[in-house]
Amino acid sequence: MVSKEHSSFFDNWVDRIGEVAGEDMAKDSIVAIREEYSIFDWIMEELLKRAGFSIDEVDYSGGFMAVYVCTKRL
């Protein structure tokens, strides 16, 4: 069960996506939230490292998303 706090967060997030990227993207985002699985930061970071990347920067924003800036190790 999703808490009211999380539900409100995602409702606002989807509304913002609709404003910025259009209703089709907002609908796709709803499907992604409901039907796809998120990857925890520690899993994603290990996947990047095992794929040969060094993580240079990480921006955790919005409470559940991250942006990674990486360099491919030689």
One domain, residues 64 and 52: yes
One domain, residues 46 and 22: no
One domain, residues 45 and 74: yes
pTM over 0.85? The answer is no
Q: How many domains does the chain have?
A: 2
One domain, residues 2 and 22: yes
One domain, residues 19 and 4: yes
Identify the pLDDT of residue 37. Answer: 67
Identify the pLDDT of residue 56. Answer: 97
Contact residues for 60 (Cβ-Cβ < 8 A; gap 6+): 41, 66
pLDDT tens column, 9-65: 888 888 989 999 999 988 988 888 778 766 778 889 999 999 999 999 999 876 667
Q: Are 73 and 67 in contact (CB under 8 A)?
A: no
Provide the residue range defining the domain that includes 66.
38-74
